[in-house]
Structure 1
Amino acid sequence: MAWYEGAFFYQIFPDRFFRAGPPGRPAPAGPLEPWEAPPTLRGFKGGTLWGVAEKLSYLLDLGVEALYLNPIFLSTANHRYHTADYLQVDPLLGGNEALKHLLEKAHAHGIRVVLDGVFNHTGRAFFAFQHLLENGEQSPYRDWYYVKGFPLNPYGKNPNYEAWWGNPELPKLRVETQEVREYLLFVAEHWVRFGADGWRLDVPNEIPDPEFWRAFRRRVKGANPEAYLVGEIWEEAEAWLQGDIFDGVMNYPLARAVLGFVGGEALDRELAARSGLGRVEPLQALAFSHRLEDLFGRYPWAAVLAQMNLLTSHDTPRLLSLLRGDVARARLALSLLFLLPGNPTVYYGEEVGMEGGPDPENRGGMVWEEGRWRGELREAVRRMARLRQAHPELRTAPYRRVYAQDRHLAFTRGPYLAVVNASDRPFRQDLPLHGVFPRGGEALDLLSGARAKLQGGRLLGPELPPFALALWQEV
C-alpha cells in the first residue's frame, strides 16, 4: 500500500502560516501586511518555510501525515503562481535552505511534503519571457510562448500572447516545444531528487497533451517510485486516473457532495457559486450516498484511495463561511472526511474555525491565539485522525451503504459501521444491519464509548445528537 493512500493531508499557503527565520536568525524583513489585517491581493504577510518547520509540533499533535504546500518558488505574487524561477525557492520564504530544513525535519517525524507545480504558465519575470521581451523575434526563446505579434505588450489589458484566462501576468508556456518539455521535466525530477515527496499539478487540463503527463510521471516516479502525483481537476477525472498519469486528483465533486449533505439548507449556495465550487445543492442521505457510490465506482480502487478528499482550499471560501458560521455542521463535515475512502485533506485554519469568502478573504494569516480557536473543530479533527491511525481498515476498506433515509446515513468500512446524523434533531440508532456484525451481542461506539445491542438483525443504540456521527465495532 502506498504511503499516500489514506494519508491525512494538511494544505498550507506558505505566506500566511507562520513568520520565522532560521534558528537564531530573524525572518526576512521588509514592509509586510499586518498578520491580523484582512488579506489583500498584493500584500505579503511574511510566512516562511522556516515557520512551517517551527510549527511541525502543532501539525504532529493534530495527526497530520503529509503537507501540501502552495507554490514556493521565486515569484512576484504572494500566492506564487507567477513563477519567476523554478529552481529557486523564494527568498521571502527562506530560499532553498529553508526547504531543505523543512524536508529534513518533516521526514524525521514521518511527515511527507508535496509541492505545487505550476507548469501551464509562468510569470512575466521568468527568464525566457524576459529574454523574449528584450529581444523580440531574435530571441532563441520565441517558441517557448504563444506569441501573436512583436513587440510584446505585457502590461496592457490585451496581451498579444496567450495568457492564462487572458491575464497578462501569466504568459502561457508552449509545452509542445521540445525545449520547454525537457525543461519542465527536469524541474519535476530535480525537486523530487531534492527530497520532495511528490507534486500537486496546477490546471493540468490546460496542458491537454496526455503524452506530456505520462512522461512527467515516468520522470518523477523514476526519481522516486513512491512520489505522489495529484492533479487539480475540478470535475470527474476518469481519463487522468488510469494509472498512467496521476495517482489521484483534488476531489471537488466529493467536496460538493459532503457540503450538500451536511450543509443542507443552511449552506450559503450563493457564496459557493461565486467560487470554483460552483453549484452545490442540498442532498438527502440517499442522494448523497448515490453520489459517493458513483465517485467511488468511476476509478480503479487504488485511485479512489489516493484521492485528495477536501472540503475547501485556497480557491474556495472557507468552510465556516460556507456553512454560515454553523460550528456543529462544520465539525460533522470535517469528521466525515476521515470515514470515507481517500486522503482527508484540511486547508490550514479550518480546524480552528477561520472564516473568509472568496480570494483573497480565504487566505488570511493563520490564527495562533488559542483563545480565538473553535476548539471543538480542532479536537474533532485530532480525534478522527487518531482513530484512523489506530484502525487501518478505515484507510483501505470499501464503502457500503447500509441505511439512508432523510438526513440519516449508515455505511460500513470493513468491520466498522458508521452512522451519520446530518439533521438538527436527535436520531434513535435503531437500524437494520443487513449482515453487518453477524455474531450478535454488543457493539462499541469508538467515538463516544457508548454501547449498543445487536439483536434481531438490528443495531439498537442510543440517540445520536444532531450533526454527529458514531463508529460502531462489534465487541
Structure 2
Amino acid sequence: MEQPVITPEWTKDAIFYQIFPDRFAKSDRVIKPNNLEPWDTPPTPRGFKGGDLIGVQEHLDYLEDLGVNAIYFTPVFQSASNHRYHTFDYYQVDPLLGGNEALHSLLDAAHARDMRVVLDGVFNHASRGFFQFNHILECGDKSPYVDWFHTKDFPLNAYELDQEPNYRAWAGLHALPKFNTGNPQVRDFILDVAVYWANFGIDGWRLDVPTEIDDDTFWQEFRRRVKAANPEAYIVGEIWHEAKRWLAGDQFDAIMNYVMTRPAIAFFGARSIAPLWHGGNYPPLQPIDAAGFAEAIEASLSLYDWEVTQVQLNLLSSHDTPRFLTMVENDADALKLAMLFQMTMPGAPTVYYGDEIGLTGGYDPGMRGTFPWDRRDLWDMDLLGFVRDTIRVRKGSVALRRGTYRTVLAEGERYAFERVYGSERVLVAFNVAQSHASMDLPLVEGGSPRLVFGSVEEIARHDDTLSLKLPPRTGVVIALDADA
C-alpha cells in the first residue's frame, strides 16, 4: 500500500526570499579582512563585497515589512569562493559571514518573527581545500582518504587547468571534486552534516545539483534522517526539469520550479524577451500566447501529488539566471504581471533579493550584484509597493495559498484562472496586451464579485458569466463572495 505524500505544512503558507549572502547586507559587527571590493561597484567573479549574516539580521524589519516569512540562503559554509559552492568545512559557517555564532543569532532572531531559514546543501562535490581532498593532494595514492573521491591516477592535477582533471569533478571543473557517495564513510559524513544543522535549528535544505548523486537510497536515507531531526524540515532540490522520481514522497518535498519560470517569462515578457541565453539549463525562450501558457502551467500542475504542488519553490529569478528584468529588457510591467501570477498560483513564491526594487543583472556575476541600501534613489518604489501588496493579497487568502486551480480563459493575450478553497473562491485575470481588453469568464457557481487587487474599467456579473474590462498590461484579483 502506497504511503501518503506528506510535505511541511508551513511551506504551503511560505513567502520565500532568496539571499546571496556576500551581496545582501554587511554589518560593522562582523570584523573582516581589508581587501574587499567597494559595495557599490559591479560584482566580479572572484571578488568579495563583505555581506554577512548579521547584516541580514539587521534588515529583518525590511523583510518582515515586505511580507517575507522564509529565507533561502545560497551556501554559507566556509569556502574560498564568493558564492561558496566550493565548500572547505561543512561544520563551519564562513568567518566572513560571521561564523556559527552569527547563524545562531540570525536563526533566533528570524524564529522570533516566525520566519523560517533554509540553507543550501552542496553534497555532490566539495573543493580543493576540503580536508580529505587536500590530504590526497599532499599524499597521493598513499592517502587513507583516496576513496572519498573518484580518482583516476596520481598525482592529482587539481591546479593544471589546461588539462582535464584526472578525477571526477562537477562539470569538469578542477575546483569541484565529486564525492564518492558509494563509500559508506562519505555517505555517513554527508548525512551527519545534514542532521547536525537540522539540530542546530535550520528549517530545511535546498540541495545543489542533487541528480548528480544518482542513488535513490542515498536520498531516501537523507530524508529519513533529516525528518527524524525536524519533521517539518523542507527539502527542495535544484532540478530544472520534470522530477517525478524524486517527488514521490520518499526523497524531496519539492524542486525549484523552473518548469514554471520558463513559460512565465515567455508569456508575461512576450513583447520584450531579451535576445540572450536565459540562464542555467534551459534554452533561449520564444514568446507564447495565453493558450500556450495555460497548456504549460496546467501540465506543470498535473505532474505531482497535490501535496507536492503546493510547496514547489516558485521563482522568477535566481543566482543561476539573469534577473527577470534583464530577461525582459527592463519591462517593469512584465515583472509586475509575473509577480502577481507567482503570488496567486499554487506553490511557495520566492523573491530573489533585489528583484522587488528593480535590480537588474545579466549572466554570472551580473545577477549577483549588491543590494543598494544607501542608494534609495536606485529603488523602484512603485515596484516595491506592488510586490508588497501582492504578498499581502496572498497571505490574506487561504484560497490563493491552498485552493484548487482551474483555467477559465486562455485566449490571445488574456488569461484567467479560479482558485477555490472551501467556500472561498477567487478569480485572477490578466491582460498582457498593450490595449484595453474585455473578457467574459464562465462561472461554475454564482457569487458577487469584489475587487481585491488591481483595477478594472468594468465589472459585472450576468448569471453564470463575469464580464471584465481591464486596462493594458494589468492583472486583477477578484473574490466571488457567496450570494446573500
Q: Does 1:16 align with 2:23?
A: yes
Pairing of 1:222-301 with structure 2 (within 5 A): 222-272=228-278, 275-301=280-306
Q: Does 1:374 align with 2:380?
A: yes
Call closer, same or farther: CA 1:365–1:108 in 2, change over 3 Å. Answer: same
Question: CA offsets per residue over residues 372-409 of structure 1, 9 Å max, x none?
Answer: 11112211211111111111221111210111110101
Question: CA offsets per residue over residues 19-64 of structure 1, 9 Å max, x none?
Answer: 1043xxx542421011111100100000000001011000000000
Partner residue of 1:352?
A: 357
Q: Would you say the 8 A contact 2:455–2:476 is kept in 1?
A: no
Tell me the secondary structure at the aligned position of residue 196 of structure 1. Answer: coil
Partner residue of 1:383?
A: 389
Q: Does 1:399 align with 2:405?
A: yes
Match of 1:70 among 66, 70, 74: 74
TM-score (norm 2): 0.94
Q: Does 1:331 align with 2:341?
A: no
Q: Distance in 1 between matches of 2:106 and 2:336?
A: 30
Match of 1:199 among 170, 194, 205: 205
Match of 2:45 among 16, 32, 41: 41
Q: Distance in 2 between matches of 1:424 and 1:55?
A: 38
Pairing of 1:92-131 with structure 2 (within 5 A): 92-131=96-135
Match of 2:442 among 433, 441, 459: 433
Tell me the secondary structure at the aligned position of residue 338 of structure 1. Answer: helix
Partner residue of 2:90?
A: 86
Q: Which runs of 5+ in 1 are unaligned?
A: none
Q: Distance in 2 between matches of 1:21 and 1:146?
A: 42
Task: Identify which range, 29-38 or 39-48, moves more after superposition.
Answer: 29-38
Pairing of 1:171-190 with structure 2 (within 5 A): 171-190=177-196
* Letter in structure 1 aligned against 2:441: P
Q: Distance in 2 between matches of 1:8 and 1:435?
A: 30
Q: Distance in 2 between matches of 1:343 and 1:10?
A: 10
Partner residue of 2:452?
A: 446
Partner residue of 2:152?
A: 148
Q: Does 1:417 align with 2:435?
A: no
Q: Would you say the 8 A contact 1:116–1:200 is kept in 2?
A: yes
How many correspondences in the alignment? 466
Q: Would you say the 8 A contact 1:317–1:359 is kept in 2?
A: yes
* Letter in structure 2 aligned against 1:99: L
Tell me the secondary structure at the aligned position of residue 411 of structure 1. Answer: strand
Tell me the secondary structure at the aligned position of residue 264 of structure 1. Answer: coil
Shift of 1:6: 4.0
Q: Would you say the 8 A contact 1:10–1:64 is kept in 2?
A: yes
Q: Would you say the 8 A contact 1:410–1:420 is kept in 2?
A: yes
Question: Quick one: percent identity of the two aligned structures?
Answer: 46
TM-score (norm 1): 0.96
Q: Distance in 2 between matches of 1:179 and 1:408?
A: 56
Question: CA offsets per residue over residues 188-234 of structure 1, 9 Å max, x none?
Answer: 00001000000000000100101100000001000000000000001
Tell me the secondary structure at the aligned position of residue 193 of structure 2. Answer: helix
Shift of 1:435: 1.4
* Letter in structure 1 aligned against 2:141: E
Question: CA offsets per residue over residues 410-441 of structure 1, 9 Å max, x none?
Answer: 1101100111111111222x4132314x14xx
Q: Distance in 1 between matches of 2:429 and 2:67?
A: 23
Q: Would you say the 8 A contact 1:19–1:27 is kept in 2?
A: no
RMSD: 1.4
Q: Distance in 1 between matches of 2:79 and 2:143?
A: 23
* Letter in structure 2 aligned against 1:103: L
